[in-house]
Chain A
């Protein structure tokens, strides 16, 4: 079991409020991702749940039990740090066994669980090495191994992949998702990378300046962002946000349309503009179209084989059913 409930939780460092009163429920077995720009309080929130920081006010419950005053060691949570935080003086085996040793398990049981975890994580050949002799990806696996042996109520991940190179990151992303499927344990994952959030989460919590902007499944956030911030943050490339006359036509202050919901053509369309930069990814091509009279550059996604050159005149047509409307306060209309 691992249901985590936050009730009116706040956190201040001196006069600076980092988390404003915040309510959140993370259900048992859920993969919950905290995402937001740096400084939004997502790591602080995770550390509050972990117990590495004390809440200023409010209550945190794990499986119904209030834990706000309980030290991290007693909360039954496991954490994977951005820097891996392995014990450099211990072998991989001892690193993974450390939580078991602290829990007072006997040597045989420790070994059994360590070997099992090592097998799952492909670390069997490295058990007698020290962290300094491992690659970044292997260290990350050891950190995960150390977290899973104890069979915690929930796993906390603090930007675990940001020290890895791009290829490894994609691989580890899959491994963590797979691990979640297999273990079915609650996971809370902090990242600033919305791609990680979209691909891994059951539930995304978008944070900004210490408060929650929106909570929902990846597709809910993608399809119905509650405000301009979420609209701009979720989705890659970013949603095009258009103000002015075009927005007024839709009875809104701002309208948003994602690059993938605009079609591009050489001869006809609703808006016209000139191709600026084009990014060819193979499967897709992104055109940044200028001089559309809509304010900013408009980004458009097209098939990989569509090719317009820099300076070509093109015509754009948004899908009307995919236009998001926002009022003067930046909140979603309808």
Chain B
């Protein structure tokens, strides 16, 4: 039976979607707007919306005071590095769980996910001490490894659900056709899983880019990424909302642009398997 949708109802739905969309988007919009205000206008009550003296002053000050490109570069290295490193571990892991499962596979998957339920601060001290011992504190290598480990359960889970969707018979056919394990993964599994791998990577980059707890606690100056760059404007000399907003805008802009260009891929990734 076809569902009859009246024009009125459609209009209402569209309106509702816009309201929800704007609500979700509002904090970002407000941050961007504030970044173009003067400090006085930023804390004005009642707030000023669009009619203020637009200025690039905050950006100039932020750029002068801290080296944006260094933070950016650290973020790129850490987010990209942890993603690539994680894929090298997650793809074989997800492959074996999806195609040669053992009796414990489900338990292992759940156990892996359970590590994400632990509050991160619970393992802060052990990891901090390990980092000191190994000389990894405030290094990009150290941070890359930690972020990779933190997001690994999610990567394995996502890839596992993708791989599950690939019929096992196709891989068996590859084996019959003379493909070894390496060729099977390279020529058959990976091309079929590319949409899944791409969205897993994308999600992981976003998660790693925005990760603040570990990046703030394990870095000081040398390896600090953009999260630290933002944080440096929220403390000690009092709050400067406009400059903080400018720093935030600069920090989220790259990932926002990446997300914008890959939204098709991302949406497909997040809803994969939901519809056939």
Contact = CB atoms under 8 A, between A and B. Distances in A.
Interface size class of B (residues with CB under 8 A): 10 to 19
A187 to B, nearest CB: 15
Nearest to B178: A102
Nearest to B170: A85
A232 interface: no
Contacts of A99: 177-178
Nearest to B175: A72
Interface stretch (A73-81, A242-250, A297-305): A73-81
Contacts of B170: 85-88
Contacts of A89: 191-192
B69 interface: no
B192 A102 contact: no
A52 B191 contact: no
Interface majority SS (helix, strand, loop, mixed), chain B? helix
Contact of B178 (A73, A87, A156): A73
Given A87-B188, A89-B191, A89-B192, A73 B172 contact: no
B175 A73 contact: yes
A72 B184 CA distance: 12
B176 A79 contact: yes
Given A85-B169, A102-B183, A50 B176 contact: yes
A74 B178 CA distance: 7
Given A81-B169, A85-B169, A88-B192, A103 B176 contact: no
Contacts of B187: 98
A327 B180 CA distance: 52
A79 B169 CA distance: 11
B167 interface: yes
Nearest to A77: B176
Nearest to A82: B169
Contacts of B167: 83, 85
Given A83-B167, A85-B167, A150 B173 contact: no
B257 to A, nearest CB: 29
A208 interface: no
Interface in A82-97: 82-83, 85-89
Given A73-B180, A102-B183, A85 B175 contact: no
A107 to B, nearest CB: 16
Contacts of A51: 175
B206 interface: no
Nearest to B176: A79
B179 interface: yes
Interface in B138-177: 167, 169-170, 172-177
Interface centre among B172, B173, B175 (most CB of A within 10 A): B173
Interface size class of A (residues with CB under 8 A): 20 to 34
A42 interface: no
Nearest to A71: B175
Nearest to B177: A99
B179 A81 contact: no
A146 interface: yes
A52 B168 CA distance: 11
B177 A102 contact: yes
Interface centre among A51, A89, A103 (most CB of B within 10 A): A89
Nearest to A88: B192
A103 B178 contact: yes
A333 to B, nearest CB: 44
B242 to A, nearest CB: 51
Given A83-B167, A102-B178, A102-B183, A52 B172 contact: yes
Contact of A78 (B172, B174, B176, B188): B176
A150 B178 contact: yes
Contacts of B180: 71, 73
A19 to B, nearest CB: 19
Nearest to B194: A89
B186 to A, nearest CB: 11
Interface centre among B175, B180, B191, B192 (most CB of A within 10 A): B175
Given A87-B188, A89-B191, A79 B178 contact: no
Contacts of A156: 176
A78 B169 CA distance: 14
B169 A83 contact: yes
B173 A85 contact: yes
Contacts of B192: 87-89
Interface of A: 50-52, 71-74, 77-79, 81-83, 85-89, 98-99, 102-103, 146, 150, 156
The 3 closest A-B pairs by CB, nearest first: A102-B178, A85-B173, A99-B177
Given A82-B169, A99-B177, 13 more contacts: A52-B175, A72-B176, A74-B178, A77-B176, A79-B173, A81-B169, A81-B172, A83-B167, A87-B173, A87-B188, A88-B170, A89-B191, A146-B177
Interface of B: 167, 169-170, 172-180, 183, 187-188, 191-192
7 contacts: A71-B180, A72-B172, A72-B175, A73-B176, A86-B170, A150-B177, A156-B176
